[in-house]
Structure formats: C-alpha cells, structure tokens
Amino acid sequence: MSVKGATHQDLTHDSAAKHVTGRADYTDDILEPIGTLHAYLGLSEVAHGRITGMDLSEVLAAPGVVGVLTAADIPGANDISPTGTGDDPVFPAETVEFHGQPLFAVVAKSRDAARRAAARARVEIDPLPHVLDPMGAIEAGYPDVTAPLKLERGEVAAGLAGSAHRIRGRMEIGGQDHMYLEGHIAFAMPGEDEDVVVYSSTQHPSEAQHMVAHVLGVPSHSVVINVRRMGGGFGGKETQMNLFAAVAALAAKKWNRPVKLRPDRDQDMIATGKRHDFVADYEVGFDGEGRIEAVEGLFAARCGFSADLSGPVTDRALFHADNAYFYPHVRLRSRPMKTNTVSNTAFRGFGGPQGVIVAERMIEEIAYALGRDPLEIRKANFYRPGGDVTPYHQVVEDNILERIVGELEASSEYQARRQAILDDNAKGGIIRRGIALTPVKFGISFTATWYNQAGALVHVYNDGSIMLNHGGTEMGQGLNIKVAQVVAEAFAVDIDRVKITRTTTEKVPNTSATAASSGSDLNGMAALDACEQIKARLVDFACEKWGVEATEVEFLPGRVKIGAEEIGFDDFIRQAYVARVQLSAAGFYKTPKIHWDRAKGQGRPFYYFAYGAACSEVSVDTLTGEYRVDRVDILHDVGRSLNPAVDRGQVEGGFIQGVGWLTSEELWWDGDGRLRTHAPSTYKIPLASDRPRIFNVALAEWSQNAERTIKRSKAVGEPPLMLGISVFEAISMAVASVADYRECPRLDAPATPERVLMAIERLRAER
Ligand code: MTE
Ligand code: MOS
C-alpha cells in the first residue's frame, strides 16, 4: 500500500517552498485595513523603583498620535501572569521591577510616529536598590518567585561520607535569547459588542485568548486568537506573547480600530524573557572506578521579576540534573530567585539543559580526578536497563543509551580519534584539539499533568477533500505536516488532499501550549481520534448499504474496498454525504500513565524518555581562545520517526542552537540592570559559517517507542539541543591539555573565546 504522505516517509516541510520564496504568510503580512493604528511600548529606564510621576503630554502632542494606554486604562485585570500568580502586570501602576519594563503604550497612525512619540515620555521614578543575579538575590534576602522544589532519594549525607572520593564545585550557566527570525507581533481587530479577534505570533493561542479576555474584563468566548504560523518560537512565545496580544486588543477596543503592535528587535530582546541562567553548586561522591555514590545539588536561577514559568522551568532543571546517570543517594534543590531583570521564560529544553550540563560537569570532574576517559565514566554510570530509579522516583524502563552510545562510538571512530588528538596535543602546539561524546536522556510530557491533552477537528468535505485543524501551532518545527501525515494515512489518501489550516481558538478550545516537544504526540493522537470516528461512521454506512460485515470494508490508497467491490474515495464520500453520514469529528487525546506529586517530589512525570548522543571535535587557538567545530557525529532517537527528513532537521537545528547557547551567545546586563546585548550586533548566534566542517546526523532507525505513542514515534523538538554539550566538553578537553589534563577546567557557559582564554591562562598560571 502506498499512500503519498503516510507516516514514516521523508517529506519536505509543507511550507518549505513558501518559506524560502517569501510567500508564507506571517502575522505582519496580513493586509492592514484602512484606518489601522500602530502601537509602540514605552519602557522603564530604571531597574527598580517607585513611579512618582508619568507625564505623557509631550507624547500625546507628538505628530500622528491618537492616544496612550497606561495601567489606568485597563478595564479588566491588570495581570497577565500565566499561572495566576498575579505578579505580572500589563503595565505596572506603582513599582517598576526591571530596566526595560513596559510602562505605557503609544497608539498612532503609523508605527514610526508611535515609536518617535514614545521617546518623549517623562517618567519619574524613585529608585530602590536592585539585584540582578541569583546569588546576589539570595544574599539580599530576595524571595523565590515560586516555591523551591526538592528531589530526594536515599541517604545523601551518609552516601557522601562513605564515598572514597568527593568533589565540590560551582558552575555558572548563561541564559539565551530566543532570536526567532520573526519577532513578537499582535494585530487586533475589534468586532461588535465585546468581540475582538487577535492575530498573534503565539505558541499558546488558548492562553493568549484567556489573557486578553481577563485584561478586557470579558468572557473568553468574546476573544478569538488566530495564528497561521510563527517565524520561530523556541519557547519565547509561550507566555511572553500575552503582553502584545493584550495591548493590541486593549487599543483596538478603546479606539475601535484595527491595531498592530510590533516591537523592534531591540525592544523585543529587552522587554521579553529568555532562558534562565543558573548558578549550580554540586557535590559528588564516587568510588575508585568512577561510579557515582551520592550527589547533592543546589540550582539557583535568575527568574526575573515575576514567576512566569520559572517554577516548572527550575523543576525541569532538577528532573534533568541526573541526565543519563543513576545516583544511588541524591538530594537536589532549586532556588527560583526573584531578580530585577526581565522575567525569564521557556526556552527549548525548558531548564532541562541547565540540569544536564551539571551532570556532565560532574562526570568530567570524576574523569579528570581519576585520570580516565570521560566516556568510560559516563558508561559506568548509565541507568541500568530495567529498574534504576530517578531522583523523582520514576523507574527508567526503556534505557537504550548503551546501544546508542556504543553505535556512535564505533561510527564516529571515537577511540582512534581521541588517541590521535591526545598524541597531537602532547606535541604542545598552539592549536589544541578536544573530543567529547555526550549522551542525553530527556523526559517527555508537561510536568503540569493537565497540559497533556489535545483536541483536533477534521472535516471531510463532500468532494473528498479534507480539512485538518488541531490545537498545536506551527513555528517551523514541522508539526502540521506530521499531523497531516497521520490523517492521510488514516483515510489512505494522498497528503495533497489534506489541507492544513491556521490554529484558531474558535475550532479547538482549551488547548495547551505547543511546547514540551509534545506537539505531534498530542495533536497527532487527537487528529487520529477524529479520523477514527469518521471512519467508523463510514464503515457503518458501507455495511448498511452494501450489506457486508465491517471486516469487509477496507480503506485502500485512494479507494475503498467493500466486499468484492472497489470504489474511489471521492465517490464513496459523495455517497456517504447523500446518505446523510456526518463527515466531521472533533478528536481528543490525553496522555496516559503520568502523575506527579510536587510536594512529595515523587511520581511519574514523564510518559517516556527520548535519547541521543553526539560526538564533537574542536580545535582551540590557545593564544586567542577562539575555536572551531571540526566534526560532529550524532545518533538520535525519535522512536519510529513520523517524518525522518523533518526530524533530522530538528536534530541539526536543536544541536546548533545548543552550541550557540554554550559558546557564543552571551547576555550581559550592566550595573544599572540595562541589557547591553540587545541586537545581533552584540549578541552572537551561530551562523551558517559556524556549522561543523563535518556534520553526520543519523536517527536510530531501529528504535521504536515502547509506549503507545502516535505510530510509536518520539518527540524530537527539544532533546537535541542538549547534544550541543559535546562541543562544550570538547572545548574543555582542549583547554585541559595545556595542563596535561591534571585538572578539570572549571569552564563556565557560555564558553566564549574570552572565557576559554581565561581558563587556559588560569591553568597555565597554576602549572
Ligand atoms: N523548531 C523550529 N524550527 N522553530 C521553533 O520555534 N521550537 C522548539 C522545537 N523546535 C522550534 C523548533 C521548541 S522549544 C519546542 S517545545 C518544539 O519545537 C515544539 O514543537 P513540537 O512540540 O511540535 O515538537
Ligand atoms: Mo518549548 S521551550 O517547550 O516551547
């Protein structure tokens, strides 16, 4: 049976041609009706303080200005906190909490007029002391933005005391800007009564709907959110969009005109949250073979001024502080610290990467202390198949890392290349090389259990064409094509027949964010459920009309076999329609088996794990600290891939984004709390020229999900980001070579050339 576009086939992204020819519609491409107004935000220039006066008369007098919006203009709740913590105002009324906080919006006839006018505001703020980083926040007695989490198993104190060796350390791990190509944008159209329709670049239309309703003080049924696609989200549009949607909607209702709000890149970077940076303190006890006996870890995070998603993000850091390794005795704690910085948020991996890199640092510490290859130490500590328990008391049932790492070790010729590098470095040249092979194990499911649900709406029109709508959003990751493949396969029709439509809160209600890599797991299943319902009705119809048993009805490519007869799909659908068969269905899915008790720190938060490994080789110039990635080999597990071409793209993109996070992307706030890296000129993401010289990416084709996921596939969006850690560890090895690997370089992330050079000089000085 061959259906063009069934699952497990290599298909290009449905919009690939449109993406590269500029014909894909983004929110900013929607034709603006005559009379459209433009909004622009006015930001705080103080990190912390009391607002004593806000004189906007000059703003109002500026050419083209229609009006301004401040906290006083909010008819409903002045709160867009995603988890209802109430600490996230649209505009603050009294206290400014970070440099760059939006204080008001200007609405004008053109974007340029609004932008120029915003600069004329005179805001008086009585400064208060501010704290920018998590350690400073702990010292200053700042609160946690949300309750800390503790994960504990075994007897940590006794475990550490009984270990033959113990190492303590601290690692600083930087944040990351999302740098989506399309920035935040919202375009609101007022309707009659309380209605408003908002086109917005959001990963979470239902939340945007809820927030807009809440801010306007109207029921959710009055608000529609639409998103055809995003030009990248990466977690940055999970909650951070709420502000833009709310302000555009407020203005649209106030002036009864369409209103567009599109910040420029600097404002987007300054006013929206990023990946959390962490300071992690660890202590690890181990035996002479490098087997870990006990781990204690404290993870303090820069959360910014409000909770946003910092609770679940810091929780996920703890959930991944084991990465792939069994800790017999363990205690992990989080400190989600309030700081006077922008409120940090979701970013690919959602705190997981910050946990994983600490696990890998501990492995490296052990390896250097014992004079062994870090890969040996990794293998010695893998969860053993069939029974080891994580710090959150979930049993690791399906660990396939031994095979993944074994195959990658062979295909990348790790051993021979490592030996060659050791020999080369021993000659003492200026260019030193390093190689590292690191694994990842990533838990799949939202830890907020109720988020693990999805809906879909499938219509079969009476000409045999199919419309598919689901609650997920497309941000470039290929979710739409994967779900369309599921539908094409279900009806055994070519994928060209399946139209993928924009996400809208009108078609599928109460959806979850497209996040936690679970988009295809959840929406694929919901769409399949809808298809199965329609198919069941079609089978009933066939049985009745042709007088056959259900087992005699078969969907073949483009046709249906009923008893001995075969009829074309279109014809069959036409007949079903005439016989008044309902050809539309709403599907639903909720993930089974998962549960999580946060207070106890116990449960099964993850339905399953996704695995992968990367082997990276780098060269480092020991005079400048500059480096180059020479070769990367990846073997990644996506179960039975829904679409291997798209999945390989996700693995490559995720990996490169992880490398950017750990090498060149550096966020830097000055002493006044002003973000100084707020444009591509000062914030360096990887370029095409930074790609590895040799880049071999493979999927573990033999893998299939042990759980009953959609077609036995696994989530792919986030896990590959953590493969970038192999580059970081390879750089670390090159650095360590200057002191003959006697010491594990305490390299912090990002390992910018400056940091690499300082690490080299520190090691040289200690010689
Ligand atoms: N890939 C592209 N091209 N653009 C994106 O914005 N976001 C990532 C990942 N891959 C992203 C991406 C993040 S953070 C997540 S959670 C997943 O895609 C979300 O989509 P999925 O659940 O459908 O995998
Ligand atoms: Mo992804 S950080 O879960 O949007």
Q: Which atom of ligand 1 is nearest to the CA of 237?
A: 6
How many CB atoms are located within 10 Å of the residue 701 CB?
Answer: 12
CA 490–ligand 1 middle distance (angstroms): 25
Amino acid occupying residue 670: D
339 Cβ inside 6 Å of ligand 1: no
Q: Among all ligands shown, which has an atom nearest to the Cα of 653? A: 1
Strand residues in 339-490 grouped as ranges (E) = 431-444, 453-460, 466-470
Q: Which atom of ligand 2 is nearest to the CA of 237?
A: 4
Mean pLDDT (the chain, rounded): 97
pLDDT for 766: 83
Q: Among all ligands shown, which has an atom nearest to the Cα of 230? A: 1
Mean pLDDT value across residues 118-146: 98
Distance CA 149, CA 598 (A): 7
Q: For a substitution probing ligand 1, which of 12, 180, 182, 234 has the most ligand atoms within 8 Å of its CB?
A: 234
Mean pLDDT value across residues 171-190: 98
CA 717–ligand 1 middle distance (angstroms): 5
Query: What is the token pair recorded at 101?
Result: 């906080």
pLDDT for 2: 80
Task: Write down the catalytic residue from 97, 283, 365, 718.
Answer: 718
pLDDT for 1: 54
177: which residues sit within 8 A by CB, 6+ positions away? 269, 274, 275, 665, 667, 677, 683
CA 446–ligand 1 middle distance (angstroms): 14
Ligand 2 site, CB within 6 A: 203, 235, 238, 346-348, 350, 515-516, 718
Distance CA 134, CA 142 (A): 9
Distance CA 209, CA 508 (A): 12
232 Cβ inside 6 Å of ligand 1: yes
Mean pLDDT value across residues 6-26: 97
Q: Which atom of ligand 2 is nearest to the CA of 238?
A: 4
Task: Starting at the earlier edge strand, list the strands of the sheet with 292-304.
Answer: 150-153, 329-338, 292-304, 278-286, 165-173
- pLDDT tens per residue, range 222-232: 999 999 999 99
349 Cβ inside 6 Å of ligand 1: no
Mean pLDDT value across residues 427-453: 97
Q: For a substitution probing ligand 1, which of 477, 652, 656 has the most ligand atoms within 8 Å of its CB?
A: 477
CA distances to 355, 370, 451, 511 from 527, in Å: 34, 53, 17, 13
φ/ψ of residue 151, rounded to 5? -115, 130
Q: List 500's β-bridge partners, or say none.
A: 468
Query: What is the token pair recorded at 625?
Result: 């600290």
Distance CA 96, CA 340 (A): 9
For 75-122, give the DSSP string.
Answer: SS-S---TTS-S---SS-SSEE-STT-EEEEEEESSHHHHHHHHTT-E
477 Cβ inside 6 Å of ligand 1: yes
Q: Which atom of ligand 2 is nearest to the CA of 517?
A: 3
Distance CA 528, CA 516 (A): 20
Q: For a substitution probing ligand 1, which of 204, 517, 710, 713 has the most ligand atoms within 8 Å of its CB?
A: 517
Q: For a substitution probing ligand 1, which of 348, 651, 716, 723 has the most ligand atoms within 8 Å of its CB?
A: 348
User: Residue 27's Cα: distance from chain center in Å?
Assistant: 21
Amino acid occupying residue 277: D
Confirm if 369 and 744 have CB atoms less than 8 A apart.
yes
517 Cβ inside 6 Å of ligand 1: yes
Residue 114 has pLDDT above 70, yes or no: yes
Confirm if 668 and 677 have CB atoms less than 8 A apart.
yes
Binned at pLDDT 50, 70 and 90, residue 767 comes out as low
Mean pLDDT value across residues 71-88: 96
CA distances to 310, 445, 533, 592 from 597, in Å: 18, 15, 35, 16
Mean pLDDT value across residues 159-179: 98
φ/ψ of residue 12, rounded to 5? -70, 155
DSSP state of 701: T
Distance CA 184, CA 182 (A): 7
Residue 384 has pLDDT above 70, yes or no: yes
CA 454–ligand 2 middle distance (angstroms): 16
Query: What is the token pair recorded at 60?
Result: 């109002």
Distance CA 376, CA 526 (A): 43
pTM of the model as a whole: 0.98
Distance CA 516, CA 349 (A): 7
Distance CA 18, CA 400 (A): 38
Element (H, E) at 210: helix 205-216
DSSP state of 585: E
Clarify whether 364 is annotated catalytic.
no
750 Cβ inside 6 Å of ligand 1: no
- pLDDT tens per residue, range 489-503: 999 999 999 998 999
Task: Starting at the earlier edge strand, list the strands of the sheet with 565-568.
Answer: 553-556, 559-562, 565-568
Distance CA 572, CA 577 (A): 9
Mean pLDDT value across residues 647-655: 98
